[in-house]
Amino acid sequence: MSAKGFGQPTKTDKLVEQVVCYCHKRHPEALDKIFDTLPASINKQLVAGTVAALSGDTDTLAWFCGYMASAINRSEDNQKPHHPITLLSKLLIKHQMQPFSDFMPYPGCRLVILNTEKYEALPTEVQKLVQQAYEITEATGEEAQRINNALLEELVVTVQE
């Protein structure tokens, strides 16, 4: 890592700049090359830095949510007219919900609402739109953990020699 202080960007800062650039270019393959090669702790920092850097750009931030939910895997996916997860993310962001703190894009083209109070405070018409377009399921913390573990198992790839 490069030296901190004196205005010198860290390695993580430089990676965040790259991620933001690839988000603006809508280049999921380049993002994969970054996220797939780094440890989870660094990826977590990259996501937080990217969300902060894109906070004023709702369209790109919503696209990033679609990417993180695996709705956008290839550059060709950008040509599709509608990505439900991206559209839902954009709607939630426009209503002051913060990705990765109020809602979480999740592999398998899902969003998990983390802040139910904030969701319930959304205008009724927004909640109706969400309910009409998406399957909403409620879960206790224990149920959510079981679902989370099952989804993680789906994502694990076993390498056989």
With a cut of 60, say whether residue 151 has pLDDT above it: no
Identify the domain containing residue 126 by its residue range. Answer: 11-155
Asked if residue 6 belongs to a domain, the reply is: no
DSSP 114: S
Between 37-41, 48-52, 105-109, 143-147, the lowest mean confidence (pLDDT) is in 143-147
- Give 104's strand partners: 112
Closest CA to 19 of 1, 34, 40: 34
Our count of domains for the chain comes to 1
Token code pair at residue 38: 């780094």
Residue at 151 is within a domain: yes
Whether residue 161 is contained in a domain is answered as no
Burial of 41-53, coded b for 16+ CB within 10 Å and e otherwise, reads: eebebbbebbbeb
Q: Locate tokens 């993310």: which residue?
A: 89
In a domain, 1, yes or no: no
Angle of the 84-94 helix axis to the 124-133 helix axis, nearest 10: 170
Beta carbons of 85 and 109 less than 8 angstroms apart:
yes
DSSP bridge partners of 111 = 105
Element (H or E) spanning 51, and its range?
helix 40-53
Given a contact cutoff of 8 angstroms between Cβ atoms, the answer to whether 28 and 75 are in contact is: yes
> What is the model's pLDDT at position 159?
40
In this structure, are residues 86 and 62 in contact, taking their beta carbons and an 8 Å threshold?
Answer: yes
The pLDDT value given to residue 152? 55
- In this prediction the pTM is 0.80
pLDDT at residue 37 tops 80: yes
Q: Would residue 101 count as lying in a domain? A: yes
158 pLDDT higher than 50: no
> Does a structural domain hold residue 4?
no
